[in-house]
Structure 1
């Protein structure tokens, strides 16, 4: 029978992939029927509150919980010295161990570090009692910045290390050295500030132990990873731990981390033999949930006479805070190195990495995961090269950007690009950007300072996480099960956190089996009902779930073909998938629906073909091909399954009197392979761009001598709807040749481009140079203007 590439049977119905299908999860969420972690209430439940360090660096002399234990409604109070569990395992062997305690009992290394926990009838009583815990800390000198941490006489956060480097990588590349000896050098230093994901829903955990099994409800992006880690730390068999993820009000990588509270609340439930809940407040969230970015990239290019780059070298230095994070906060630094070459023909690079510990909240994951930082550095450097050589920066990019004939192409870092529309996306974005600037100039008051800027990049999707976890590789699973009425239940190991995962999964199942989408029920986020999976991060969900769905669906199609052929008294090779079942090719009247096939397979088994087993279900696990889980002998690494590409255009208006930057128009021309649902992809891009604008202009987490200065939304400036312009998105389509359905991923693309595009636009608007640091707050812009005048 005719089959599509990859073994798929031909279908006679129009494809669902690419259709603008309304998201199936939205009605429930928008009508208030969502169930988030704070909605989980168990009989007899008590609540926890934490005592946290007010000092950034100190030795713990004593933590006395006796007064708290005598407070009304209190059931328990524990300090670090009381805990029989911990420290947490250090699973990544190639970085230094931090031996993180669940409650600090020897040393605190950041403000907000948990010292004790109090459990009471409700949160109010728990917090009142927590104030009675007597903590004695002996202050230690504060390590305030990454530069200070590397000074010869710097205080040490981990004295056994001998310095403050969690990791230090200094590769060598003779080809890079040769290029720098031969060609002119142009350099720059590019800094991305510390900020945070700030999801609408903070973190939270509810745990219950029934004497046999532990059930944990948690707001996370990776339920099975939580189960694995909980079982290991608490000394339980994984089969005796059930992890349930309710609706998640935003994850953005910050909920891909595991935190001390995630272990402590389940331990408390086991110890007290009653359900325990902890819901993080916003102050706690900004203090203790992992921060992000805080990276300085020193980058130099060996530049040929025509401006093209022969080689890159430099250093990525990241302030990791205390380093007490899992997965490790050093991961984005590695991704930044891998993204520096972008979609350009740059044959060689050699970039060092330094992960420095300081007395700040630990660094972790955030949407983009190093790619915004790397893109900001290379795009700013390309603009600088163009200025210094008198070459239009757009023409310089045209000289380096990949053409279709260059593909497949391996970057200097080892990324294998097998498809993409790098030049087409760039040219289209420039066309849109010039038009938007002209239109804004027509509307603007005389003398308005308007400018346009661009950023072009690639995004690795479905990446391996082994190098930052020591336990996660790249696979995921799917179970497909027909019911007797012809409906299908699909269970997948990925997680939903607002990105439209239910709709994407249902679409792919309906597409693979030629079913209406409303006949597909999606299950995820429960380790008892979903097959083992690694969760949702790194724009991986559609790729890995889609691959597993394609393989499981192929099993069902083959069995369905055998049963249909038997019922129709036809040869299997004469059948084709039709809308809702199978038909004899060219004879629509000779058809069998899936409902009839399911009834035969599940209830009327006497009608099955001889030798065919009952049942109509299949499970498959899928790992995308070609992923490196560690560096190859040449030091290169293809860490992702595939790579999207995009170019962004930003039009800004700058008020030179106040320094206020307003993004007037924004466009993203994006290529994520075959688009499952244009509405979902547009939503992903819009949301990412909004976060990118926030990071470029507003959001920051400043510290003064280890004390955080933005611990509420009164101080942490998130963009509002008034700061986000209308966003134009256009999708190109370069199907991934080795991935089922030809899909790639779209979860992080929107956030990567705004910092670089907006910085370039501000330079254009003001006629200044040196916009090399974010955020571009009014005071920062005013300083740029004053420096230019002087």
Structure 2
């Protein structure tokens, strides 16, 4: 099926069924747990149940005598290098895959047992005796920064992994001139919970290591394995099979990903480790846990002249790569949203505590920053008696403002900021009126909004100290006219295969069925940085576009020679090179491929055999390090959206129900409306979960949510039917005019839902909600406090 674009057929914007779905729905997917190799043994990890301790001894003798056990290793047994600290702007953590001298969180791996199967390995882990000397625990970022706090890394002298001050004469002048409105906005600790947990399989054969791992970035894993194991990258193959959800959590490199390959090399047999859900909740990275102190210098009309504040994030122990401070930097860049706020000075603190390390999770700082600024804008409206929607209208970017550089340095080339906002307001007010019309007397309904911009396809240098932002594509014709495309991005359920196949088919005017997609294997896919930051469509699309241009030029030369026509007289349409004005004079890609690959004597002079191209794409205009003024345009492009939520609140129980939800979104040209809608729906669902249900509390360093009995996830019952509308058209600054949609759904949900709950409870005297999650006890507390 095709639509028309500029008078010609196009696959872009067509609701194409996903090419990967039949295989997955029929149970033919191959996940890590499906990788079974001859002679394979299973690993299980011994994890610390103490949050902070010095390691005196780890006795493995009893475990070694357990039935079916092949080996037991501790941190002292592993001849591995420390995970490199490649970021000179943060303090070195120098952590090892298995703890050697100290443990800093419950779940930290102390030892690994290898046995014939997972059951025997798990039994043997209980026989490993760890003699740990407890050290005082720090539970919160505030406690960690107190003068008498225990130090996780005594050589630092404090518990700050990262500390960035910020000052600005323009900001100071604004606060001297205008009134200040301030608030403290807290986003709690929760986490991605992908359907598939983590897992690793490794085999060392013929002096070459092959690692299957559930990751979003195979080439990054390969590079880190090389650094820690001491093997050349060319001797390591990393394969990413089907991934049952990543959400940024699988963009980290975990201890198990180093240890399992080491075991395979040491034991000379395949080794597999599959995470269980308890391990996932205590050992896979957590997220958010951020407090933003934010003040606005406010003019008489309520508009913001400057922002000042601090983003403080609890990073847990900090023992992860990439380090978990990245979302804090993104939060800083998100604070101005789509508003004309000319100046900001925002400090950043990344604090280590005795919790599981924090890392990436969908939105990656965007939800935190958006929650803070949107809640602050509502507070300004209350204090100045200005309708908060009217206040937003006074600040939001209009088309004539573009291109626009935000106070943090982000360069917005395109977008529909005002249009999306106004349409979302229209939808929200209609939805609220409909709910009020059918609600029982005494029902507490509320309406909330959140508007934002999302940076996509960012540089990764600021969190890795190594990689920037490039990606690659190989496009190769076969003699029968079929095409194989290999790309450096990764699939994790987001429809990447369909997206890539669609762009290749569009660029070469072929049916999508003639395109085969390869990704997730460092031996067969070209170098790429994987899938994160809503980057896949843009960077893969850019590389595909460049490779396709090479093929189109070569195909045109061959077809012109075969048709005895001038190349300038040919056009490519419907899979054929046609002479303009002569529909009967055409050469198909299949005929061109036959000449290029088989009948090479038909090639024109100077044209070499073969019909393939490799291209690398890196966006221009990115800042990989801050500019002298401290600003940074860290992303290739920026999407925008406005969310609106209608909630129902039961004041007696404190239960909040999201009854209606709408998103008005602009991601440039839409490749596949089905995929974009799915991304938005899934992101909103996770945003609802993180705002109302999910949390990872601690008490004296002990995690209190270690199973799904304590970690509450929303079900389909808690997710409303959503209205999603796409605005805008092709973005002029990107290949194919596309941006990204992977994270947009989750960014607006906390602010929109919190605003709606605040609106619903206003008749009861609740005037300010500045913290999530809004669990029933929290909501009841807000109501009781207001009544008191």
Q: 1:538 aligns with which of 508, 533, 538?
A: 533
**1 CA distance for matches of 2:207 and 2:696?**
44
**1 CA distance for matches of 2:731 and 2:626?**
23
Partner SS for 2:723: strand
Does residue 562 (structure 1) correspond to residue 560 (structure 2)? The answer is no
Partner SS for 1:713: coil
Does residue 407 (structure 1) correspond to residue 377 (structure 2)? The answer is no
Q: Report if aligned partners of 1:11, 1:514 keep a CA contact under 8 Å in 2.
A: no
Partner SS for 2:489: coil
RMSD of aligned Cα (Å): 0.8
Q: Deviations over 1:534-568 (max 9, x none)?
A: 00000000000000000000000000000111111
What's the offset of the Cα at 1:788? 1.1
Residue of structure 1 in register with 2:773 after alignment:
775
Does residue 524 (structure 1) correspond to residue 543 (structure 2)? The answer is no
**1 CA distance for matches of 2:6 and 2:584?**
16
What's the offset of the Cα at 1:83? 1.2
Does residue 626 (structure 1) correspond to residue 621 (structure 2)? The answer is yes
Residue of structure 2 in register with 1:275 after alignment:
270
Give the 5 Å matches for 1:247-646: 247-646=242-641
Q: Report if aligned partners of 1:419, 1:734 keep a CA contact under 8 Å in 2.
A: no
Residue of structure 2 in register with 1:659 after alignment:
654
Q: Report if aligned partners of 2:81, 2:227 keep a CA contact under 8 Å in 1.
A: no
**For the structure 1 residues 12 and 603, does the alpha-carbon distance in structure 2 shift closer, same or farther, using more than 3 Å as the test?**
farther
Q: Report if aligned partners of 1:421, 1:734 keep a CA contact under 8 Å in 2.
A: no
Q: 1:194 aligns with which of 184, 189, 194?
A: 189
Residue of structure 1 in register with 2:151 after alignment:
156
**2 CA distance for matches of 1:216 and 1:776?**
42
**1 CA distance for matches of 2:494 and 2:527?**
20
**1 CA distance for matches of 2:423 and 2:734?**
26
Give the 5 Å matches for 1:222-237: 222-237=217-232
**2 CA distance for matches of 1:773 and 1:272?**
50
Residue of structure 2 in register with 1:7 after alignment:
none
Residue range with higher mean Cα deviation, 83-92 or 724-733: 83-92
Partner SS for 1:521: strand
Does residue 685 (structure 1) correspond to residue 683 (structure 2)? The answer is no
**2 CA distance for matches of 1:31 and 1:724?**
26
What's the offset of the Cα at 1:519? 0.4
**2 CA distance for matches of 1:335 and 1:578?**
43
Residue of structure 2 in register with 1:99 after alignment:
94
Q: Report if aligned partners of 2:444, 2:649 keep a CA contact under 8 Å in 1.
A: yes
What's the offset of the Cα at 1:11? 9.5
Structure 2: gaps of 5 or more residues: none
**1 CA distance for matches of 2:767 and 2:506?**
51
What's the offset of the Cα at 1:184? 0.3
Q: Deviations over 1:125-166 (max 9, x none)?
A: 111111111110000001111101010111100000000000
What's the offset of the Cα at 1:86? 2.5
**For the structure 1 residues 242 and 599, does the alpha-carbon distance in structure 2 shift closer, same or farther, using more than 3 Å as the test?**
same
**1 CA distance for matches of 2:694 and 2:657?**
15
Q: 2:41 aligns with which of 34, 37, 46?
A: 46
**2 CA distance for matches of 1:472 and 1:33?**
34
What's the offset of the Cα at 1:189? 0.4
Residue of structure 1 in register with 2:214 after alignment:
219
What's the offset of the Cα at 1:580? 1.1
**TM-score (normalised: structure 1):** 0.98
What's the offset of the Cα at 1:447? 1.4
**2 CA distance for matches of 1:700 and 1:534?**
30
What's the offset of the Cα at 1:736? 2.1
Q: Deviations over 1:379-434 (max 9, x none)?
A: 00000000000000000000000000000000000000000000000000000000
Q: Deviations over 1:650-709 (max 9, x none)?
A: 000000010000000000000000110010000000000000000110000000010000
Q: Report if aligned partners of 1:642, 1:744 keep a CA contact under 8 Å in 2.
A: yes
**After TM superposition, which residue ranges in structure 1, 4 or more long, deviate above 6 angstroms?**
none
